[in-house]
Amino acid sequence: MNQLEKARAKIDSIDRELARLYEERMKTLQDVAAYKQAHGLAVVDTSREEAIVQKNRKFITDPAFVDSYERVLRFMISESCDYQRVLLAKGKVGYAGIEGAFSHMVAKRLFHHHTLVAYSNFEDVFQALVDKKIEFGVIPFENTNSGLVGEVLDALLKYPVFIEQVWDQKIEQCLLGIEGATLKDIEWVYSKDQALNQSREFIQSLNAQPVAYPNTALAAQYVAMQRDKTKAAIGAKENAALYNLNILASRIEENSENTTRFLVISRERNQEGDRFAMCVTFKNEVGALGRVIEEISRQHLNMCSIQSRPLKGHSFEYFFFIEIEGNVDQRALDAIRSVCDQTKVLGSYTMRKENNE
């Protein structure tokens, strides 16, 4: 064994010991995270972290290595905080709205034993997932009557998240009013814009004015607080009991098969499932879209859907959400990427329905 081989062998031995100690250090953080959670302490403790750095710098006897060791320490502390966030996020599921929103009901159904965390809007759920404040997010994506939720598709492109699973929930919209109100009293109807759209003909039959609200449950809460017979909300029947409202009419949606597709999003990519999704962009030139579709066919894949959406910050340019039946292996994915400008894989996932537990 020559000098280089001896040095490399020694480095390998040191690296194995470093790996063992690093793993031991990270596992100890489970106790740290549990204590912080039990006592309501923040993950980041700047004064403690700075004290660690200054104390450990002194363990380096050769001045040539002090600064580089400090950089290693700060990186390790950053990773430690990140891991604590992951630990604290376990068992937490985010949704947009308040109790009684359809997202809340689906989250409760899919995650019986998890802690549900409410956020004010869809983007906040995505951000909370990326920031490791929650383990999963539950988001409405598409409705059989009103189509895609565009802001959710934008967020799927923007944030580093993946689709974990998909749940199709049949939606029964109800008109909710305060005690004593009748259909003849209603002049204003409040709800999420998609719910208003799903019930457009019914609202018109009342000669009432639709008013968009952030979500259905908030609309029900607002009507309950107003105590005004002329105001009603569109939402789930469960909201009547939650907010002490009466159901003035049921099944007011135009489509009797009214179904909303909900996504469960996560930070980890699934490798298996009965569907595969990706977002793609390509150059604005003749035949570009055709080449993508042709390549998908050439790979013997069945494209279930393709949806276009304006690309923010790029006037009159678009990205496409593509869903493919089954799974897509790396070879096929590389072939599809070769005819695209940019691609973002959203992963594989399982499709589930309300009556298919």
Q: Helix (H, G, I), strand (E, B), or coil: what is residue 30?
A: helix
Identify the CA nearest to 159 among candidates 131, 194, 196, 183: 131
Report the greatest alpha carbon distance in the chain. 95
Identify the CA nearest to 346 among candidates 281, 269, 282: 269
Q: What is the pLDDT of residue 355?
A: 56
Q: What is the pLDDT of residue 240?
A: 93
> How many whole angstroms separate alpha carbon 178 and alpha carbon 207?
19
Distances (CA, A) of 242 to 22, 139, 247: 50, 21, 12
Low-confidence residues of the chain: pLDDT under 50: 356-357
> How many whole angstroms separate alpha carbon 33 and alpha carbon 38?
9
Q: What is the pLDDT of residue 103?
A: 92
CB 321 within 8 A of CB 262: no
Distances (CA, A) of 64 to 20, 41, 228, 343: 25, 37, 75, 44
Would you state the structure tokens that stand for residue 284, as one six-digit string? 């604005």
> How many whole angstroms separate alpha carbon 99 and alpha carbon 316?
38
Q: Which residues pair with 136 in a beta bridge?
A: 93
Q: What is the pLDDT of residue 171?
A: 85
Q: What is the pLDDT of residue 357?
A: 41
Q: What is the pLDDT of residue 330?
A: 93
Q: What is the pLDDT of residue 1?
A: 78
Q: What is the pLDDT of residue 168?
A: 94
Distances (CA, A) of 346 to 87, 277, 293, 317: 24, 5, 18, 21
Q: What does the CA dihedral 97, 100, 101, 104 come to, rounded to 10 degrees?
A: 80
CB 237 within 8 A of CB 183: no
* Residue whose tokens read 């502390």: 77
Contacts of 247 (CB under 8 A, 6+ apart): 174, 175, 176, 237, 240
Would you state the structure tokens that stand for residue 190, as one six-digit string? 């409040």
